Amino acid sequence: MACYRCAGGNFHFPYPLVELAPFEIDDGAAEEAVSFVSSSCPGNEYPKLISRTEGWVGNAQRSVEVYDTSQGILLKVAGSRDLFIAPHGESISKQNPREEFNQLDREVILGPALVLALALREVWSLHASAAMYKENVIVFLGESGQGKSTLAAYLSQNTNWQLVADDILPINLNASGASIFPHFPQLKLPTNAQPGIDLPENLPLKYICVLTHAEPGEMPDLQKISTAQTVQSLLSHTAGTRMFNPALLAKHLEFSTQAAKQIPAYQLIHPHRRDTLPLIKEFLEKIC
């Protein structure tokens, strides 16, 4: 049994995952993950369908089905083995624990399965990059190809800046405000270049920045946005929401509403050109 501490919690897997190596811990009390038979459940219980959708997993568009059972969540991704997520997200296992994970299994585990496991703990996975200026963490939201990762990587090359996340960033709300969790695998970066390794387990989130498209020749601009716009951005840029059951959707809406009230948010007109990056850096340092 392998145990890793990611996004503020412990996760157990029947086999080690190299992508999580920087976050491995020694949990002597870890129990074996519960085996699960997808075709039937104890007492002839049949899994109840939560959602049926499609997602980009394993370099292909695949069907994704999520079922509710008395033992937790059953996740079916086309081409991958069925995975079982324990009720509180504490473990992710498969039907036959003796079979090692293949490459597609691993991508499903580190993608939709881990996103669902976190959501069961009310930790939400933003499609986002993030950088920290001194002690101020700024999260960048935006559509794919908008330049989130490029911007965060550029900022991290400058004095007083540090990369926090490249693609997915877990976040939750607690008594002290919004917290982000850097100890989480950024799958587009090498294992030895994970930005969270040298950061605390959690950091307060200070600002949200929503990247939007710029017209040809348009220069960067940074403007405060309303609470309603911030709520919509958080709803739009959270991973896995199409897999959520009604209870998780309600909790996610409550999180988005409360987070939008607490975190200042800005719209950044982003030309996605390297010559505009120094000016954007100046804007961001000014709000910090």
**What are the phi and psi torsion angles at 267 (to 5°)?**
-100, 125
Confidence of residue 26 (pLDDT cuts 50, 70, 90): confident
Q: Where are the domains of the chain?
A: 2-121, 125-287
pLDDT band at 28 (very low <50, low <70, confident <90, very high): low
Its pTM stands at 0.91
- In the chain, how many H helices and how many E strands? 6, 17
Count Cβ atoms below 10 Å from residue 160 Cβ, excluding itself: 12
User: Which listed CATH number (3.40.50.1820, 3.90.228.20, 3.90.920.10, 3.40.50.300) goes with 125-287?
Assistant: 3.90.228.20
* Cross-strand bridge partners of residue 172: 179
In this structure, are residues 180 and 139 in contact, taking their beta carbons and an 8 Å threshold?
yes
pLDDT (0 to 100) of residue 15: 82
Q: In what order do the strands lie in the sheet with 9-13?
A: 9-13, 2-6, 24-25
Those residues whose C-beta lies under 8 Å from the C-beta of residue 36, and which sit 6 or more positions away, are: 71, 72, 74, 82, 84, 93, 94, 95
Report the half-sphere exposure of 94 (CA within 13 A, side-chain side). Answer: 19
Condensed to tens digits (0 to 9), the pLDDT of residues 177-196 reads 899 999 999 989 998 899 99
User: Virtual CA dihedral for 236, 173, 164, 212, nearest 10 degrees?
Assistant: 30
